Chains A and B, each alone.
Chain A
Amino acid sequence: MAVRRVIFKRLLEGDKDKLRREGAKATTGGGAMDWRFGPWEEFDPVVARMIPTTDVRASRRKAGNAWVHQDVDVHVGTIRSSSEPIFPAEPFEFWPPTDARPFEGRIATPYKLRPFRPEVLPPAGEGEIFAFVWEDEKGLWGAYVTEDVLRDPNQNWPPLLRKTVLDALDEAQTWEHAHPKSPLRNVRGYVDFQTGTRRTFVGTRSV
């Protein structure tokens, strides 16, 4: 099936924590366990093309000591695991930014999604881990991708996609090598195969 567009995100320790803390946090609400993508004005058009259907969801935020409820438009679709395609598609939601973090859209509760269950998180020792979400003619798919598989010359990656992800990761790792005491850099981006466009963001930088 022809892939139309892909968004990806490097999983930092905090992102992995959000998966592993499922047991302790599941009853406290999922907001803190989202995966975030920003700047939102860059991702929003791509997400809107990948998941054109929106639905109104109730959201709440804290204003002083009180909870304020509001309705927000959420991109809603379904997603499947590319490594377990026999399982049916599951609900998938991409939320707009919150007031507290107005620059980042977010994938809600990824630990609940089959392609991103903590049990299928690749083991340590295969380099960095990325979460990929992509759209083809059959819908949305998700998978974890390791740095080793991305760098493996025997893997038949589309050159545009491999280069986009690895260029951003290389820049992040170069910076991290030079600043070993600093936190790892957040790497995320997208590739649109239909238009040939791609954008990546490392830390707060667009590259």
Chain B
Amino acid sequence: MSTPASPSDLAIEVLRSLRDNKLVLVDGPSASGKSYVLGEVAHLFESFASAVTAHGSGAPIQAGAPGTNFMPSPNRSKRKVFRIVMNQSTRYSQVWRDLEPEPGAAGTLRVSKGELWKANEWALQPDSTALMVIEELNRGPAVKALGPGIMGLETDKRGDDHGNEIPGKTFPIKLPDDHGNLVDTVISPHLYVVCAQNNADTSVEPIDSAWYRRFARVKFDPDPNVLRAHFGLPNLSDPLPDSPSGPDDVFRAAVLAWKRINERIAIGSSGDYLIGHGVLIRDGQALPTDAPAATAYVREGWRRIERHVEEVFYDQVEAVADVLRITAVPTGSHPYRLERRTFADIERPLLVRDGVVDDDAALYRLLKTIAEN
């Protein structure tokens, strides 16, 4: 991945929280940059050095970017990142250690080597530290998959710097060794775990607040400033013209409309169901330099925003109409229409879009209408 020349504020916040708490939960709405920032965190963690060899003139040993004050285990040079994406079928054996079928040997079992166990084994080595990244935490059976090991992961229940048990403090967890015998496993103080979740995801199993309390939390919110910076907009406050004179007008209309949609979702549903700024960013694609190309750029993102609204307010057409500001303006002045049709003698609302999003001028008018109402 490409990362910014200097770490983002959110990446620094996550790393600082990991340094202080070792167990961190990153949560926020979809497309709010969780995975992007965790990618940056992983890159910074793995490539960090407090001092580096520099070739050429000047100081031959230089301070390792980005600094030492927020980096977990800054003095450890063997740094490695491990990853899991949780899903409905994630098992304890894939996280820690447990018996699992031996591939190609019917009826034979072996002891698994789960990713978190491997990360801890790595961190227990001298001069080593590990970062475990668990994506989509609440899309899998998190409580079951992490099991009793969650106790040993707590900051004050780890082992000492050499991986030894500290009497009266360390809470070793019981895991099978290679032969299947349960042995005490001490969690290294140099193992860090960061989990990401979208609070709007439906959990496979309920996760209670007592379980969550073990995590320090870093909240990600949709951020208009990210979009302002991405699109190079000088501000978001200039009035929108009736028709765009350049790409900036299109981008500003899209950002303001997206922002307005989120304001209505927060009222009609909850902050967990907002849609993040990432929905309007097309990573790896150069920014257009004229209005038609800018309209094409934002079109796909806008479709995703509308699909998201439909999903949040499933089967609530009038709520969708409110979020899209159809009912906030005089009839006929919005590109969309809310009509009443009869079905089985019952009057039902129907949202009529008439291909507005496909038409450049109509799409701009839609964005402007939503942004201003």
Which A residues fall within an 8 A CB radius of B?
1-4, 6, 82-83, 85, 132, 134, 136-138, 141, 143, 145, 149-150, 152, 155-161, 193-196
B245 to chain A, nearest CB (A): 45
Contact yes or no, A4 B77, CB < 8 A: yes
Contact yes or no, B75 A134, CB < 8 A: no
Contact yes or no, A83 B53, CB < 8 A: no
Contact yes or no, A136 B59, CB < 8 A: no
Contact yes or no, B59 A2, CB < 8 A: no
Range class of the B interface residue count: 20 to 34
Q: A2-B77, A137-B77, A195-B75 are in contact. Are A85 and B63 (CB under 8 A)?
A: no
Considering only residues 116-169 of chain B, those with a C-beta below 8 Å from chain A are 127
A145 to chain B, nearest CB (A): 7
Q: Point out the residue from A83, A137, A156 that lies within 8 Å of B62, measured CB to CB.
A: A156
Q: How far is the CA of A194 from the CA of B48 in the complex (A)?
A: 13
When distances are taken between beta carbons in the complex, the residues of chain A under 8 Å from B49 are 1-3
Q: Which of A2, A132, A138 has the most CB of B within 10 A?
A: A2
Q: How far is the CA of A161 from the CA of B64 in the complex (A)?
A: 12
B122 to chain A, nearest CB (A): 16
Q: A143-B60, A149-B59 are in contact. Are A2 and B52 (CB under 8 A)?
A: yes
Considering only residues 49-103 of chain B, those with a C-beta below 8 Å from chain A are 49-64, 75-77
When distances are taken between beta carbons in the complex, the residues of chain A under 8 Å from B62 are 155-158
Q: A3-B49, A82-B53 are in contact. Are A158 and B77 (CB under 8 A)?
A: no
Q: How far is the CA of A195 from the CA of B50 in the complex (A)?
A: 11
When distances are taken between beta carbons in the complex, the residues of chain A under 8 Å from B50 are 2-3, 158, 160, 193
Q: Point out the residue from B55, B56, B61, B75 that lies within 8 Å of A157, measured CB to CB.
A: B61
Contact yes or no, A82 B60, CB < 8 A: yes
When distances are taken between beta carbons in the complex, the residues of chain B under 8 Å from A152 are 58
Q: How far is the CA of A195 from the CA of B52 in the complex (A)?
A: 16
Contact yes or no, A83 B60, CB < 8 A: yes
Contact yes or no, B63 A158, CB < 8 A: yes
Main secondary structure of the interface of B (DSSP, over half): loop
Q: Which residue of A lies closest to B58 (CB)?
A: A155
Q: Point out the residue from B56, B60, B76 that lies within 8 Å of A141, measured CB to CB.
A: B60
Contact yes or no, A2 B51, CB < 8 A: yes
Contact yes or no, B56 A83, CB < 8 A: yes
A97 to chain B, nearest CB (A): 27
When distances are taken between beta carbons in the complex, the residues of chain A under 8 Å from B48 are 2
Contact yes or no, A194 B75, CB < 8 A: yes
Q: Point out the residue from B53, B55, B58, B63 that lies within 8 Å of A149, measured CB to CB.
A: B58
Q: How far is the CA of A2 from the CA of B169 in the complex (A)?
A: 33
When distances are taken between beta carbons in the complex, the residues of chain A under 8 Å from B55 are 82-83, 85
Q: Which residue of B lies closest to A154 (CB)?
A: B58
Q: How far is the CA of A149 from the CA of B63 in the complex (A)?
A: 14
Top 7 A-B residue pairs of the complex, sorted by shortest distance between their CB atoms: A2-B49, A3-B51, A158-B51, A82-B60, A155-B59, A143-B60, A156-B62
When distances are taken between beta carbons in the complex, the residues of chain A under 8 Å from B59 are 145, 149-150, 155-157
Q: How far is the CA of A184 from the CA of B349 in the complex (A)?
A: 93
When distances are taken between beta carbons in the complex, the residues of chain B under 8 Å from A145 are 59-60
Q: How far is the CA of A160 from the CA of B61 in the complex (A)?
A: 11
Q: A4-B77, A195-B75 are in contact. Are A134 and B63 (CB under 8 A)?
A: no
Q: How far is the CA of A136 from the CA of B48 in the complex (A)?
A: 13
Q: Which residue of A lies closest to B79 (CB)?
A: A2
Contact yes or no, B60 A156, CB < 8 A: no
A192 to chain B, nearest CB (A): 8
Q: Which residue of B lies closest to A82 (CB)?
A: B60
Sample of 25 A–B contacts (CB below 8 Å): A2-B48, A2-B49, A3-B51, A3-B53, A6-B51, A82-B53, A82-B60, A83-B60, A132-B61, A134-B61, A136-B52, A141-B53, A143-B60, A145-B59, A149-B59, A155-B59, A156-B54, A156-B63, A157-B59, A158-B51, A158-B62, A158-B64, A193-B51, A193-B75, A194-B127
Q: Which residue of B lies closest to A159 (CB)?
A: B63
